DNA sequence: TCGATCGATGCCATTTTTGGATTGATGTTC
DNA sequence: GAACATCAATCCAAAAATGGCATCGATCGA
């Protein structure tokens, strides 16, 4: 069988129709070039060039072979480039898990940044709750997850990627929605829609801790998993709720969002709501490294 | 840069995930295989395989490169095959010139045979009178021509490919068309449409010689180039004509064809009408050799 | 007829490749 | 935990391939 180096020799001669000039082009001398082309012809069992001591011309078989030879050389370079780009993380594919809520704000902004910075990487998205993401990571179904606390999975690496405050969600016309901001104490004895302690434990605990910190005891009228469901119940007048600021991107008619007032010392609502990226430390996918490098850009 | 032999080594290892088995497959020993794969990785500047003393696994770059490597090897084999098929005349292209009349019978039958026997050869057809075919041959516009005599072009090779008789063409109802065959003597003083002595000299001379051989002197009422035009004038009642048997394939309504009666000794009409193939003897197109080899099949 | 140019061939030095021997690492069995 | 088998990598000598110089026969132009 022939080699790519034979093809380079043949292509140079076929294009120059002169062994001397082709040899110069290939940085070798004319005798080895003559021999290399002869080796190619022998390997193929076909005469590719007709030559006298003065004239070099392609045979019909040579005419057939020349475009194929050029194509092989081009494809070889392309294959090398593709391998290099994959190795460097410029090209490849990553499977990313995300929670519904992270899809409201962080994820869209991250995807935008990621596509701009790494257009050659294919991002495969899978929505699932945090617990399922850990299972999928362990099973290799996803390579990185966007999850809520709390987790204590030592076998995964993690990185905090975003924090945001909780806001009050109240129906239009609700007394608490009239003010520009709301004191936590005002939530005492208020009907409130809160999170499921099972399917949304992180948010359940967060809300409970926040209210307890102010000595407020809301009247929890419903426990729900999804934020968009919570907003629906708020609109229906069942009560108020505390939701992450990103929920504002849902633009729910009939529901107003108000910051929580703080004591005079701190000045701004604490960013209590955390979002973490998690992955297997042994993952060697270069595109994952590329992705992880871009996470801090969107915080 | 890497070589196709490197690709073969890599593909074998990638498929076996074991250097020893891959080496056996490639008919070489394990140490040189290990080194060849290392050379490929060095040439690319990319790690394609992760390996410990016990485990071999593709990297992501290796996963990207493997299908490209397989493709290159396949295309290399295909390129070799294409060159061999062109060299053997199994594949390629031929330009063939032909006269209008040869298109009635010989050429269709030849094309049918040629396509069956040489499906990989592209046949490019160009209709032109014999004189123009010689010019086109000399100029390289066609590679073989189907021409009528007479020619005396020593620089071309030729081969008689078909012969056929002349038949009498008479309008329906014409007295000469009532009999199953016609004596040449019957043509004496008959109105006759014949060939142009300039644009169809071969046929003009043939008809004149045939009539003179029987002592008949037809009354030539028209001189025309093309056989289908002659048949039209016969139908119109201007006279009879002598045409090659292949003209019967035109199926001209209103015109009957009758064989020419011979003297008792010979028994059948002589095949006076000749068709020759001509080409440049220096032409090296293998597909032309294939075509020429098939010409005698259709005679 | 002579000289210049060209591709092919001979020969040799250098480089590359191959295979056997061996190594260190790793997993299995006892 | 030790012994053993297996595996990919390394070392080294031998074989093969490559490249370059010298030269050849053929061909073209002056």
pLDDT digits (tens, 9 = 90+) for B62-98: 999 999 999 999 999 999 999 999 999 999 999 999 9
Instruction: In whole angstroms, give the CA distance from residue B245 to residue B257.
Output: 8
The separation, in Å, between residue A61 CA and nucleotide C11 C1' comes to: 33
Q: Which residues contact A182 (CB under 8 A, 6 or more apart)?
A: A168, A176, A258, A259, A260, A261
Task: Check pLDDT > 60 for residue A274.
Answer: yes
**pLDDT of the residue at A269:** 65
How many CB atoms are located within 10 Å of the residue A28 CB? 14
Contacts of B184 (CB under 8 A, 6+ apart): B210, B211, B213, B214, B216, B260, B261
Query: What tokens appear for A161 in the block?
Result: 């990627």
B161: in domain: no
For residues A280 and A157, membership in a common domain is answered with yes
Asked if residue A241 lies in contact with residue A221, where contact means CB atoms within 8 angstroms, the answer is no
The partner residues of B157 in beta bridges, in order of sequence, read B279
- Do residue A175 and residue A231 come from a single domain? yes
**pLDDT at residue A104 tops 80:** yes
CATH code at position A55: 1.10.10.10
Chain B 15-74 residues whose Cβ is under 7 Å from strand C: 28-29, 31-32, 35-36, 39, 52-55
DSSP state of A54: S
Q: Helix A60-88 to helix B286-294 angle, to the nearest 10 degrees?
A: 130
Residue B294 has what pLDDT?
95
Compute chain B's Rg from CA coordinates. Answer: 33
Determine the average pLDDT of the residues in B118-129.
94
Closest by CA position to B46, among listed B61, B66, B68: B61
Q: Which CATH number is A227's domain given?
A: 3.40.190.10
In B, minimum Cα distance to A45 occurs at B84
Q: Are A7 and A73 in contact (CB under 8 A)?
A: yes
Does one domain contain both B171 and B255?
A: yes
Q: Are residues A288 and A245 in the same domain?
A: no
Residues with CB under 7 A from strand D: A 3, 5, 27-29, 31-32, 35-36, 39, 52-55; B 18-20, 30-31, 34-35, 37-38, 51-54, 56
Q: How much is the average pLDDT of B154-173? A: 92
Nearest residue: Cα versus C1' of C9: A31
Confidence of residue A87 (pLDDT cuts 50, 70, 90): very high
| Nearest-angstrom CA–CA distance, B280 and B283 | 5
Average pLDDT of span A242-268: 80
Q: Tell me what pLDDT residue B267 has.
A: 55
> A190-206, pLDDT tens digit by residue?
999 999 988 888 999 99
Tokens 């600021």 — which residue?
A245
Spatial CA neighbour of B244 closest among B155, B148, B108: B148
Report whether pLDDT(A63) > 80.
yes
Mean of the per-residue pLDDT values of chain A? 91
Report the pLDDT averaged over residues B273-277: 94
Q: Are residues A83 and A97 in the same domain?
A: no
**Strand D footprint nucleotides (protein C-beta < 7 Å):** 6-11, 18-22, 25-28
Residue that terminates a domain, selected from B58, B73, B88: B88
Same domain, yes or no, for A56 and A188? no
In this structure, are A157 and A12 located in the same domain?
no
Q: What is the structure's pLDDT at A295?
A: 94
From the CA of B298, how many Å to the nearest CA of chain A? 27
A76 and A98 co-located in one domain: no
Alpha-carbon distance B23 to B31, whole Å? 9
- Residue B266, domain member (yes or no): yes
Mean pLDDT of B131-148: 93
Last residue of a domain, one of A88, A110, A141: A88
Decide which of A54, A69, A88 is a domain's last residue: A88
Q: Same structural domain for residues A181 and A224?
A: yes
pLDDT of residue B59 exceeding 70, the answer is yes
Yes or no: say if A58 and A66 are a contact pair by the CB < 8 Å rule.
Answer: yes
Report whether B154 contacts B268 (CB < 8 A): no
Q: Quick check: B143 pLDDT over 80? A: yes
In this model, does residue B127 exceed pLDDT 70?
A: yes
Q: What is the mean pLDDT of residues A158-176?
A: 92
Q: Is there a contact between A86 and B92 if contact means CB atoms under 8 Å apart?
A: no
Question: In this structure, how many other beta carbons lie within 10 angstroms of the beta carbon of residue A275?
Answer: 24
Determine the distance from the C-alpha atom of residue B51 to the mean position of all C-alpha atoms in its chain, rounded to a whole number.
58
Chain A residue closest in CA terms to B83: A61
Based on the fold, state whether residues B246 and B180 are members of the same structural domain.
yes
Indicate if B141 and B286 belong to the same structural domain.
yes
pLDDT of residue B32: 95
Q: Report whether pLDDT(A187) > 70.
A: yes
Measured in whole angstroms, how far is the alpha carbon of residue A164 from the centre of its chain? 21
- Is B175 part of any domain? yes
Minimum Cα–Cα distance from B67: chain A residue: A79
In a domain, B19, yes or no: yes
List of chain A residues whose C-beta atoms are within 8 Å of the C-beta of residue B3: 3-5
On whether residue B61 sits in a domain, the answer given is yes
Interface residue ranges in chain A relative to chain B, Cβ cutoff 8 Å: 1-5, 43-48, 50, 59-65, 68-69, 71-72, 75-76, 78-80, 82-87, 91-92, 284-287
Which residues of B lie closer than 8 Å to A, measured between beta carbons? 1-5, 43-48, 50, 59-65, 68-69, 71-72, 75-76, 78-80, 82-87, 91-92, 284-287
Measured between its terminal Cα atoms, the distance across chain A in Å is: 56
> Which bin fits B201, alpha (ψ -120 to 50), beta or left (φ > 0)?
alpha
Rounded to an integer, what distance in angstroms lies between the CA atom of residue B19 and that of residue B39?
A: 15
Residue A151 phi, psi (nearest 5): -140, 150
Domain that holds residue B253: 166-270
Q: Are residues B31 and B50 in the same domain?
A: yes
Counted domains in chain A: 3
ipTM score above 0.90 = no
Mean pLDDT score, A4-31: 96
């Amino acid at each position: 069988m022939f080699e790519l180096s034979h093809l380079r020799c043949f292509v140079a001669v076929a294009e120059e129709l002169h062994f001397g000039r082709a040899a110069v082009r290939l940085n070798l001398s004319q005798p080895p070039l003559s021999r290399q082309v002869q080796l190619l012809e022998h390997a193929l069992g076909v005469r590719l060039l007709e030559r006298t001591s003065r004239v070099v011309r392609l045979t019909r078989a040579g005419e057939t072979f020349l475009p194929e030879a050029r194509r092989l050389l081009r494809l070889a370079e392309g294959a090398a480039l593709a391998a290099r780009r994959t190795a460097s993380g410029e090209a490849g594919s990553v499977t990313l898990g995300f929670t519904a809520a992270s899809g409201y704000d962080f994820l869209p902004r991250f995807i935008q940044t990621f596509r701009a910075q790494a257009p050659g990487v294919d991002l495969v998205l899978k929505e699932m709750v945090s617990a399922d993401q850990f299972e999928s990571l362990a099973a290799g179904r996803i390579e990185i997850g966007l999850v809520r606390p709390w987790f204590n999975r030592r076998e995964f690496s993690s990185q905090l990627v975003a924090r945001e405050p909780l806001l009050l969600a109240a129906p239009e016309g609700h007394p608490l929605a009239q003010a520009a901001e709301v004191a936590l104490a005002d939530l005492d004895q208020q009907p409130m829609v809160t999170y499921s302690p099972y399917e949304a434990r992180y948010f359940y605990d967060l809300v409970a801790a926040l209210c307890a910190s102010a000595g407020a005891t809301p009247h929890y009228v419903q426990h729900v998993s999804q934020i968009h469901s919570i907003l629906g119940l708020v609109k229906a007048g069942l009560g108020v709720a505390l939701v992450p600021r990103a929920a504002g991107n849902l633009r729910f008619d009939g529901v107003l969002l108000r910051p929580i007032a703080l004591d005079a010392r701190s000045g701004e609502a604490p960013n209590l709501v955390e979002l973490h990226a998690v992955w297997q430390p042994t993952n060697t996918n270069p595109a994952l490294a590329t992705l992880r490098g871009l996470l801090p850009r969107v915080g």
